[in-house]
Amino acid sequence: MVDARITWKTDPDCSESLFEDVNTHEFCRCIELLSFEQFKVNDNFLQWVREASSTNLKQRIFQGAVSCVFLFVQQNFTGPPVPLESVENYPLVSLVKKVNCYELDIDGEFCNRAVQFPGLLLVPYVLLVENYDLFSDFKFLGWWAFRTLRIYQNILSGKSPTLEKQAYEFISLYIDPACFRLESSHCASDVFETVFDSESSLLLSWKQDFLNESETLRCIYLLELSLFLCFYGQYSLAKRVLTRSMDCIGFTVKSTGRLGRRMKYQERSLAQLWISHDSSFCREIMPVAKDKDHSYDSATLVPPNIPLVDSDALGGIAFDSEDSESFPLSDIVQVLLVANAYLSMQSGPKSDGLSHEIVSSTVQRLITDSSCRNSSIRSVVLIIRNIIEEDKGRYQERVLKQWEAISELYNQTQVPDASERLQYIFLLPFLPQVELQKMFAMFLGKMGLVKNAIEIFQKLQRWEELIECYCLIGHVSRAMSLVNERLSQELDVISRARLYCILGDLTRDERHYKEAWNVSNKRFARAMRSLGKLYVRNHQWELAIESFLEALGVNALYPDIWFLLGYCAQNKGDPSFAANAFTRVVQQEPDNGEAWNNLASVYVELKKKKEALFALSEAVKHKRESWKIWENLLMVSLSVEGELGHSLNALEALVELRGRDGIYSEQLVTVVERIIVEMVQDNGNEMLLRMCKRVLKLVGRISSMLSSDPNVWEASANLHHAAGYYEQEIADLQKQIRCLNGRMWWDNERLMNKMLKATFRLNTLCIDSGDTDSCYSSKLHTSKMIEKCKQLELADDTLQQLEKHLNSLETKINSLSK
C-alpha cells in the first residue's frame, strides 16, 4: 500500500481537522456510498445527501470528494501510481473503471485519453461544483471546488469557457462581488481591474472572516488565483495578484547585481544578475508531513540537479562571495519565487533577454539552496530550466538527462512519498504527467531522436504529434495508414473526429474537416478551426469567417482564432466586424501587443483616432521592441490634439530601436512646433518644460547621428529661438541652409519653400542681433539666392524681399565695421 497521508496544520474547515489521517484505504472508505450507478443518474444518492441531517455525514462525503482530488492528482500528476486494485471491496474501484475519459470532454475540448482513473475527478466535480449547494455549510467548499476546476482544466486539450465561468463564481465566494463584475467569462480583466487598480488594499475586500484574520490563507489563496489567471493569459493581472500575495507575508523580490563568472577559464569577474529577497514573516506556514523526517543530503535530493558537462561553460553563475543578506528559503518563499519565475517566463517574449536572465537567476537561487528539498518544487524549477535551455546547443545534453530524471521520478515508490509530492501541488504550475511526457518527446524530436519520440506519443495517444513525427522522417504513407487503421476501430465520437481532422491536416482536404464536424454532432470545434485556417491559406475570406464563427460558437476562448477572424474581416473590407474580433482578442489576452496594433489600424480606418491612440499605447507596452508599432503610434498621436507625450515617446523609442533609420525628422519638427505653441499659451507648465528638455536632448542626439538632414536643424533652431539663444539659432539655420543646398532645393517645390523660409528667418536674425561674420555670410547667401531666383523666374515679391534683406545686411555690416 502506498502511503498517501496528508496532515494539515491549518484546518481547512476551521473545526476538527478534515484530513486527520487520510491514506489510500481511507480515501476509498470515505466514498463507499458513491456507487457509479447512483452517481451517473444524479438521483437517489444526491437526493439522500440533500435530506441528510447529520453534519458529520456530509463532512465525510465532502472529505471523500476532496480525497478523490488528491488521488487523481497523485495518479496523473505527481506519482507514485495508486494501487487501487488492492482495495476491490470498495465501490471506488468499479467507479473509476467504468468512467471513461470522454465523459470529461467539455466545450468541444477533449480530455487526454491517457489520463488514468478519470472517475476520481468526476466525483468531486459533480459533488463540489455542479452540486455545491449540498455542502454550502463548509467554508472551504469554494476553495476546493476552485482547485478541482484547475485540475480539470489542466487535463483538457484547450481552455474551457464553462470551467472558467464556474471558477469565477467560486472566486466570488471569497472576494466581495461588489468590487467587480462577473457578467461574462471573457471579461476577466474587467472583473479585477476595479479591485487591483484602486489604492485600497484587496485585504479589505475579503468576504470570509477566516481570510480576513489569516495572512497565511490570504497568501495561499492569492497565489493560486495568480496561477489561474496566468493559465488564462491574464499575465499583467496575475503579476499584480502575485504581488498582493507576497505582501500578505511581507515578502519582496529584488533584482541586484553581484560579481561572478559563467565560464571556466574566465579570468575577470563581471556583474551578474542576482535575485535577492526580504521577508518580515519567516515562520513556516504551509502544511507539512508529521511522520516523516526528510533529512536528505544534496546527493539524494530528487529529482537530482544534472550538472553541465562542457569544456567551457560552468552551467550557472559562480559568484565571488556569498550573499550575506539572504536567509534560508522557507517553503512558502520557494513557491512564491517559482510562481514569479513562471510568470516572467510565460509573459515575456522569447527574445526578451532580461526576462530569461531573471528566470535563470531565480532557478539557480532555488536549485542551489540547501533548503529546497521538496520534490514537487524541485521538479517545477528544473522543468522551467529545461524550457529556457532547450534551444541552447551546449545545454541540450543536460536537458535530455534532466527530462529523463524528472520522468523517472513519477514511478519511484520509496522516496519521496506521496505526502511530500502532494504537499504544495496546488501552489505550483505543475503539469500532468501526460503533458510532461509530451514535452519530453517533443524535445527528443528536436534532438533527432524521432523513433524514441514516436514510442512516447503512441503511449500517450498523441496522434497529432505522432503523425508529425512520421512526416518528419518522410513516412507519410505510414502516417496515413495509421490514421485509417485507427478509424477502422471502435472509438468514441471525439476520438473519431480528431482522427478525421488529422487526416485533413495530411491531405489538405476540407471534406475530412467537415466529416469530423458532422461526426461530433457539431461539437468538436477543432474541425472548424482547422477548416477556417485552410480557407485563410487559400484567401477564401467569407468561408473562413463562417468556419471560425462555427468554432467560436462552441468555444470562444481561442484568442488566436479571434485574431484570424479579425484578419479575415479586414481583408473582406468589414472594419467594424474586425474591430469586434480584435476586441475579443485583447479581452482574453490583454498582453497581446499585435492584437492591440491591429485593433488600432481598424479604428484608424473607422476614423476613431482617439480609440486608435489608446490601442497603440497598449500595444507598445507589450511589444516595445517593435519599431513598426512605435511608428504607428507616432503618426496617430500627431493626428490627435494634445497628445504630444505619446509623440515624443515614439520619437525617442524609434531612435533607440533603429538608430539612424529611426529618425523621423519631419515629425520631429511638428512636435517641436506644437510644444513651443503650447508653452506660449500655458507659460510655466512644468510638464511642458520637462518635455522641452527631453526634446532638446533628443535633437542633440539626432543631430550627432544625422547631420545632413535640414529638418533636424530646423527643429534645433526652433528650440533655441524659444529659449532665447539666438546665436545658436543662427548657427542652426546656417546648417539647415547648407543641407538644403546639398539636396538641390531648386528642383523641389517643398524644399524651395523651406529654403526661402530659412533664408528670410536667418536674414532677419542677423539684421537684428548678428555679428559681422554671420551678417557677411548671410549677405553672400542672399546674393546667390537672388541670382538663383532670377534663373527660376520666381515671383517679383520674393525677389523684392530678398533684395530688401540684402540692402539691410549691407547697412548692418557697415554699422558693425565702424
Q: Output the pLDDT for position 280.
A: 65
Q: Output the pLDDT for position 683.
A: 66
Does pLDDT of 181 surpass 60? no
C-alpha 68, offset from chain centre:
32
List pLDDT tens digits, range 400-439: 999 999 998 988 877 788 888 998 999 999 999 999 998 9
Name, in order, each residue with C-beta under 8 angstroms of 622's C-beta and a sequence gap of 6 or more. Answer: 591, 592, 593, 596
The three cell numbers of residue 727 are 546665436
341-366 residues labelled b (16+ CB within 10 A) or e (exposed):
bbbbbbbbeeeeeebbbbbbbbbbbb
Q: Specify which residues 257 forms β-bridges with.
A: 273
Q: Output the pLDDT for position 424.
A: 92
141-177 residues labelled b (16+ CB within 10 A) or e (exposed):
bbbbbbbbbbbbbbbbeebbbebbebbbbbbbbbbee
Range in 190-199, 476-485, 530-539, 708-717 with the lowest mean pLDDT: 190-199
Does pLDDT of 598 surpass 90? yes
Mean pLDDT: which of 322-331, 334-343, 364-373 is highest?
Answer: 334-343
Report the sign of the C-alpha dihedral through residues 83, 88, 94, 95, in that order. negative
Q: Confidence band (pLDDT; 50, 70, 90) for 104?
A: very high
The three cell numbers of residue 363 are 532557478
Does pLDDT of 92 surpass 90? no
Q: Output the pLDDT for position 289.
A: 37
Q: Output the pLDDT for position 531.
A: 96
Does pLDDT of 656 surpass 60? yes
Cis amide leading into 416 (omega within 30): yes
Q: Output the pLDDT for position 86.
A: 57
Interval 141-155 mean pLDDT = 94
Backbone angles phi, psi at 319, to 5 degrees: -80, 150
List pLDDT tens digits, range 433-491: 999 998 999 899 888 888 888 888 888 888 888 888 888 777 888 888 888 888 888 88
Distance separating alpha carbons of residues 29 and 31, to the nearest angstrom: 5
Range in 23-27, 336-340, 420-424 with the lowest mean pLDDT: 23-27
Please report, rounded to a whole number, the percentage of residues in the chain having pLDDT higher than 90: 30
Distance separating alpha carbons of residues 531 and 537, to the nearest angstrom: 10
Count the alpha carbons within 13 Å of 162 in the hemisphere toward its beta carbon: 14
Interval 795-811 mean pLDDT = 86
Distance separating alpha carbons of residues 551 and 526, to the nearest angstrom: 7
Distance separating alpha carbons of residues 578 and 766, to the nearest angstrom: 57
Does pLDDT of 190 surpass 60? no
Q: Output the pLDDT for position 53.
A: 56
457 closest CA partner among 472, 528, 101: 472
Does pLDDT of 278 surpass 70? yes
Burial of 265: CB neighbours in 10 Å, binned 0-12, 13-18, 19+: exposed
Q: Output the pLDDT for position 186.
A: 44
Q: Confidence band (pLDDT; 50, 70, 90) for 41?
A: very low
Does pLDDT of 199 surpass 60? no
Range in 14-18, 144-148, 515-519 with the lowest mean pLDDT: 14-18
DSSP labels for 552-592?
HHH----HHHHHHHHHHHHHHT-HHHHHHHHHHHHHH-TT-
Q: Specify which residues 666 forms β-bridges with.
A: none
Q: Where are the alpha helices (DSSP H) in 659-725?
A: 665-681, 686-705, 710-723
The separation between the first and the last C-alpha atoms of the chain, rounded to the nearest angstrom, is: 113
Strand order in the sheet with 313-319: 270-279, 251-263, 313-319
Does pLDDT of 244 surpass 60? yes
Q: Output the pLDDT for position 643.
A: 87
Range in 210-214, 327-331, 490-494, 604-608 with the lowest mean pLDDT: 210-214
Q: Which residue has the higher pLDDT, 94 or 531?
A: 531
Please report, rounded to a whole number, the percentage of residues in the chain having pLDDT higher than 70: 84
Distance separating alpha carbons of residues 484 and 347, to the nearest angstrom: 40
Distance separating alpha carbons of residues 612 and 618, to the nearest angstrom: 10
461 closest CA partner among 179, 157, 735: 157
Q: Confidence band (pLDDT; 50, 70, 90) for 518?
A: very high
656 closest CA partner among 613, 677, 626, 686: 626
CA distance to 163, 359, 378, per residue, from 402 (Å): 34, 18, 12
Does pLDDT of 287 surpass 90? no
Pairing of strands 270-279, 251-263: antiparallel
| 3-state SS, one letter per residue, for 613-678 | HHHHHHHHHHCCCCHHHHHHHHHHHHCCCCCHHHHHHHHHHHHHHHHHHHCCHHHHHHHHHHHHHH
List pLDDT tens digits, range 715-737: 889 888 888 888 888 899 999 99
Does pLDDT of 386 surpass 90? yes
List pLDDT tens digits, range 670-685: 888 888 888 777 766 7
Average pLDDT, the chain: 82
DSSP letter assigned to residue 328: P
Backbone angles phi, psi at 358, to 5 degrees: -65, -45
Interval 187-203 mean pLDDT = 39
Backbone angles phi, psi at 368, to 5 degrees: -95, -5
List pLDDT tens digits, range 52-89: 656 677 777 788 788 889 889 999 999 888 776 655 55
Does pLDDT of 3 surpass 70? no
List pLDDT tens digits, range 781-794: 888 888 888 888 77
Q: How many CB atoms lie within 10 A of CB 719?
A: 21
Give the residue extent of every domain in the chain. Answer: 1-155, 174-248, 254-426, 752-818
Q: Output the pLDDT for position 816.
A: 79
Does pLDDT of 357 surpass 80? yes
For the chain, the 3-state helix, strand and coil shares in percent, each to the nearest 5, are 65, 5, 30
Mean pLDDT: which of 15-19, 131-135, 428-432, 674-678 is highest?
Answer: 428-432
Q: Output the pLDDT for position 324.
A: 54
Interval 198-207 mean pLDDT = 48
Taking a C-beta distance cutoff of 8 angstroms, is the pair 422, 74 a contact? yes
